[in-house]
Amino acid sequence: MEEIWRSPKSSRFVSERVRKTPPSEIRKFFDLLSSTEGVISLGIGEPDFVTPWHITEAGVYAVEKGYTMYTSNYGLAELREELAHYLWNQHRAGYDPKSEILITVGVSEAFDLAIRATINPGDEVIIPEPSFVSYPPCVILAGGIPVFVPTRVEKEFKLEAKEVEKRITERTKAIVLSYPNNPTGAVMNRTELLEIAELAQRYNLIVLSDEIYSRLVYGVEHICFPTLPGMKERTILLGGFSKTYAMTGWRIGFAAAPAELIEAMVTIHQYTIMCAPIMSQKAAVEALRNGERAVNEMLEEYDRRRRIIVKGLNEIGLTCFEPKGAFYAFPSVKALGFSSGEFAERLLLEEKVAVIPGPAFGPSGEGHVRCCYAVSIPEIEEALERMERFVRKYR
Ligand SMILES: Cc1ncc(COP(=O)(O)O)c(C=O)c1O
């Protein structure tokens, strides 16, 4: 895991763009984590479930049947067709499987393609923060300029249209949306998203909507951004299998957008990746066809854990607003007087609980830490006990 964060910045052979890409704040943490024994990790943002067996079996069966070759650059037709049905059934988002859907190596690749296919050097990209760590580096590596919009706990970390508008200039090209949000668990309702849609229309901006957590919502409706009036034509929808179906290691995701944008993304994808692995695509077909029961079971379990962790954190004095999506709680640690980084480091060293400092996801994360509750209930309970001891010691 920690290798991801190593970059040889000091070498004279390293490009200017890579040098300009800030190091991840999470890196230090994974280094510490890997050298500490007996840790309960609320750090890593991935499901603790293994992929449901029938999905794995479809992947294994595909290999056994000799599906070991390239696919079309766009991805298997049967997967794109299943996705088109799925997007329609789940969200009433209508996409032509022949020309408006691209299968990618996770949302990670889909986001990178979306940025590189749309951003010219010097273009500004509006990014709410705190948010997923990959957005700013991808923008910088494409020669674009990330423009951050802070979100605040008082507003449940929702993106406020008036804050976005203040940052729009003649160089603004795109807005990134990321709801349900990593690391805050924030979701946006229809009215709030309509305000962003109105700005996109008025200033003629493209929207990159990362909806990887669309299925992980608790008691609220997920609004699929391109289904808002006038938005399909200016939105690249990014979605995946990693979180919904516990398939992080299969590396499979997708982008859905108007044909000319998908074509632009394929122009890069065909030369860099060629296609997502065929066995993962076959497994994804099975996930879409028969995965609903497993999704609902995992969702119920996440919800149980969510309630336990949010209640527990509030009871020990780490104030936590109720996250309505994804699998993260984002409590405030201000009561202890430590910075987020200091809190996380001490908690790891003294009580062996790993959480991620909020500023790893953007400066507005200061005063908070991200606790991923995609771990078992006994582990959450043990982590809460350790955190309570820690809080009592320093309060
Ligand atoms: C908001 C968000 N987008 C994208 C990703 C990457 O997903 P994938 O595994 O599909 O590349 C993550 C992973 O943590 C994420 O939290």
Distance between CA atoms of 93 and 231, rounded to whole angstroms?
A: 11
Task: Indicate the top mutation candidate among 107, 178, 213 to test ligand 1's pocket, ranked by most ligand atoms within 8 A of CB.
Answer: 107
Distance between CA atoms of 152 and 24, rounded to whole angstroms?
A: 22
Report the nearest-CA residue for atom 14 of ligand 1.
45
| Ligand 1 center from residue 319 Cα (angstroms) | 26
The answer to whether the CB of 245 falls within 8 A of the CB of 43 is no
| Ligand 1 center from residue 170 Cα (angstroms) | 30
| Ligand 1 center from residue 276 Cα (angstroms) | 16
Counting atoms of ligand 1 from 1, which one is nearest the CA of 111? 4
| Ligand 1 center from residue 107 Cα (angstroms) | 6
Task: Indicate the top mutation candidate among 243, 251, 252, 254 to test ligand 1's pocket, ranked by most ligand atoms within 8 A of CB.
Answer: 243
Report the nearest-CA residue for atom 4 of ligand 1.
107
- CB within 6 Å of ligand 1 — which residues? 45, 106-108, 132, 178, 182, 210, 212, 240, 242, 248, 253
Counting atoms of ligand 1 from 1, which one is nearest the CA of 181? 1
Task: Measure Cα distances from 292 to 54, 86, 256 in Å.
Answer: 12, 11, 21
Distance between CA atoms of 138 and 173, rounded to whole angstroms?
A: 15
Report the nearest-CA residue for atom 7 of ligand 1.
107
Tens of pLDDT along the chain (395 residues)?
334 344 555 688 888 888 888 777 776 677 777 777 899 999 989 999 999 999 999 999 999 999 999 999 999 999 999 999 999 999 999 999 999 999 999 999 999 999 999 999 999 999 999 999 999 999 999 999 999 999 999 999 999 999 999 999 999 999 999 999 999 999 999 999 999 999 999 999 999 999 999 999 999 999 999 999 999 999 999 999 999 999 999 999 999 999 999 999 999 999 999 999 999 999 999 999 999 999 999 999 999 999 999 999 999 999 999 999 999 999 999 999 999 999 999 999 999 999 999 999 999 999 999 999 999 999 999 999 999 999 999 98
* Entry pTM: 0.95
Report the nearest-CA residue for atom 13 of ligand 1.
45
Distance between CA atoms of 51 and 3, rounded to whole angstroms?
A: 24
Write down the pLDDT at residue 2.
38
| Ligand 1 center from residue 241 Cα (angstroms) | 9
Distance between CA atoms of 375 and 378, rounded to whole angstroms?
A: 9
Coil, helix or strand for 48? Answer: coil
Distance between CA atoms of 84 and 95, rounded to whole angstroms?
A: 6
| Ligand 1 center from residue 110 Cα (angstroms) | 10
Coil, helix or strand for 126? Answer: strand
